[in-house]
Structure 1
Amino acid sequence: MEELRQKTRIRILHVTDVHSALHNIVALKTRLETRGERIDLILLSGDNADMEIGARDLSRDAAKIARYEKDMELVIRELESIHSLVVYVPGNHDPITTFDLNASPMTSTSMNLHRKCMRLAGNLCIIGFGGSIPAFKDSKLHWEGFPFETEEDLAKELDPLLQFKPLPSGSNRLDAIEEGDSVILMTHFGPSRTDTTIVYEDISQPILSGSETLRCHLEGDLLQKFAFLNIHGHSHDALGKVQLGNVTISNPGPLREGNYGLYTICKGSKSWRLTSCTYEILD
């Protein structure tokens, strides 16, 4: 981590929606090694395990929780064979225990970033938030949200996180935003009304899976000033990149289907910026 904090150019592997497909992590590792691709950091944006959705009683089933926690740990450990530093948020197919602010990380070198901020390098921070809200098709419920049953439920936890008050520059806090910082926001779900969250299984009745709360924050003055990148997953068939003002929104698609993203970010004279963004798929 100390080595990362000294860098002015960072190569990021973005993986999302693994759904316990360990064989694709193995294939990804082989591909990156064959190419000699150097990675500085892995960002894992949720749906690491493959917990069934629709049975909220699962949150009280200790045996099943333990099973999905183990599945999630296996995913993270496999990714650590690519790079030891894995920063993750839980998705709506991950166990409820992983949304606990006091939950221990799955491994000794990984970090659960849900509802947290972390300093990655000089004047570069990342904020994390997991889970999802319901998705709708033709104004009818199409996918359940977890652990958030409504947009209002999500806003109660997301609003305080994204209404941060920057500290004076030089405060040397590793868990807070300072004036002059650049911010990456890693969420499981993406913002509403973007092509990274609108799923066109039926073009006449698209699935709307994004969050209006998140979009409002991304378009607001605070994140327009500090954030330059919002990475997410969740919407499997809506992969791509869009721009909301100063913020790039990126969904590389699910690793369960062989998709992943590679980003390069570089520090300029005043702030960090995204200098390359590529999406690839395993053979």
Structure 2
Amino acid sequence: MQCTFLLVSDIHHNLDNIKNLKAWLIQKDRLKDINFIIASGDLVDADYITPLTTEKDEIEFREVIDGLENIGKPLYYIPGNHDPDSSFLPSAYQGKNENSKVTNFHNKIINLVPGLSMVGFGGSTAGVARNSPEQIIWPAFPRNTESLLAEKLPILLDKVEDEIILVTHIGPSKVGTTDVDKFPLRDPPIESGSSTIRDILEKSTPLSSEDSSQCNIMFNIHGHSHFPFGLSHLGQTFIINPGPLQDGRFAILTLENFNKEKLLIGEVKDFYKCSNRINSWFMVGLEFFVL
């Protein structure tokens, strides 16, 4: 069994690129392959410094959701630091009508298919100077995001027995997909990732082949950091940043569920034998594109 995901993030109300993305999928004959769309925040460009939702923010937010829904696949999204503060509420916009397949899964668990679930959490921590963490380059939104992650995310994750796709707007600290330095000698270098997410991912991966009790976060999909799109990892957890759709970037991820014994050959056996599951979801395809 396969599941294929269209990964988008950081749209910032670029409606033209949503239309261009659908046209690309149709032209390349890829639309039929997509099972789900995951949008990992910053759908619009609301002011997170004075986070009072305006009518303009709400209208633009609905326009982006409607545009993504028009691609024709089930859409799951979380809010980012540039989305309206109302998008963090349980009553946030879910689509155009009661039959809509649009779900805001901030602070929620989604059971996608047997053995595979998603956990979502939006918002961003502060961007800080890497060598002087007390120097805030841009503030968090909501302001208590790091403490909310530490308090609420472990509770959600502990409820899931399936393998997990963790979807956050920010990624873990100190990995390639959250490094916002376009230039190595930038002063000061900026850390945009979350130390809480990093701690959670480190604890979820086994330290040895004998320790498999917490090996169930298979992927962390995030956005927020526009420049360092791509693939990284912490232990056995793959970390994916599709890049900003605002600039035409997106990714397609394909997972397949099969017996892990098929993979216990060659050098990969030490990587996979830690899993305590007979059948697991594995990444069989990850493609990054620009429109």
TM-score tier, shorter chain, comes to 0.7 to 0.9
Q: What TM-score results when the alignment is normalised by the length of structure 1?
A: 0.85
Question: 1:72 matched to which residue of 2?
Answer: 61
CA-to-aligned-CA distance 1:134-189 (integer Å, 9 cap, x gap) = 10125221121111346335423334333x14xxxxxxxxxxx23xx211111100
Equivalent position amino acid for 2:287 in 1: T
Question: 2:13 matched to which residue of 1?
Answer: 20
Aligned pairs (5 A) from 1:2-13 = 8-13=1-6
After TM superposition, give the deviation of residue 203 of structure 1 in Å.
1.8
In 2, Cα distance between equivalents of 1:275 and 1:150: 33
In 2, Cα distance between equivalents of 1:51 and 1:105: 19
Structure 2 alignment gaps of length 5 or more: 206-212, 260-278
Cα distance, 1:251–1:224 mapped onto 2, change above 3 Å? farther
In 1, Cα distance between equivalents of 2:204 and 2:152: 19
Contact 1:42/1:83, CA 8 A, preserved across alignment: no
In 2, Cα distance between equivalents of 1:251 and 1:11: 16
Q: Quick one: which of 135, 141, 144 aligns to 1:146?
A: 141
After TM superposition, give the deviation of residue 81 of structure 1 in Å.
1.9
After TM superposition, give the deviation of residue 271 of structure 1 in Å.
1.0
Pairwise CA RMSD: 1.8
Question: 1:115 matched to which residue of 2?
Answer: 107
Question: 1:182 matched to which residue of 2?
Answer: 163
Secondary structure of 2:219 counterpart: strand
Length, aligned pairs only: 255
Name the larger-Rg structure.
2
CA-to-aligned-CA distance 1:227-278 (integer Å, 9 cap, x gap) = 1111000001111111111110000110001100111111112111111111
CA-to-aligned-CA distance 1:171-219 (integer Å, 9 cap, x gap) = xxxxxx23xx211111100000101111113423321000000011111
Contact 2:69/2:95, CA 8 A, preserved across alignment: no
Question: 1:191 matched to which residue of 2?
Answer: 172
In 2, Cα distance between equivalents of 1:54 and 1:130: 16
Question: 2:284 matched to which residue of 1?
Answer: 275
CA-to-aligned-CA distance 1:31-55 (integer Å, 9 cap, x gap) = 1100110211100000011102322
Contact 1:132/1:189, CA 8 A, preserved across alignment: yes
Equivalent position amino acid for 2:120 in 1: G
In 1, Cα distance between equivalents of 2:14 and 2:177: 22
Identity of aligned residues (%): 38
Question: 1:40 matched to which residue of 2?
Answer: 35
Cα distance, 1:224–1:253 mapped onto 2, change above 3 Å? farther
Deviation above 6 Å: which 4+ runs of structure 1? none
Cα distance, 1:122–1:159 mapped onto 2, change above 3 Å? closer
Aligned pairs (5 A) from 1:26-105 = 26-37=19-30, 38=32, 39-56=34-51, 58=52, 64=54, 66-103=55-92, 105=94
Cα distance, 1:183–1:154 mapped onto 2, change above 3 Å? closer
Contact 1:101/1:115, CA 8 A, preserved across alignment: no
In 2, Cα distance between equivalents of 1:12 and 1:132: 23
Equivalent position amino acid for 2:288 in 1: Y
Secondary structure of 1:145 counterpart: coil
Contact 2:124/2:145, CA 8 A, preserved across alignment: no
Contact 2:76/2:104, CA 8 A, preserved across alignment: yes
In 2, Cα distance between equivalents of 1:40 and 1:221: 27
Question: 1:173 matched to which residue of 2?
Answer: none
Question: 1:235 matched to which residue of 2?
Answer: 225
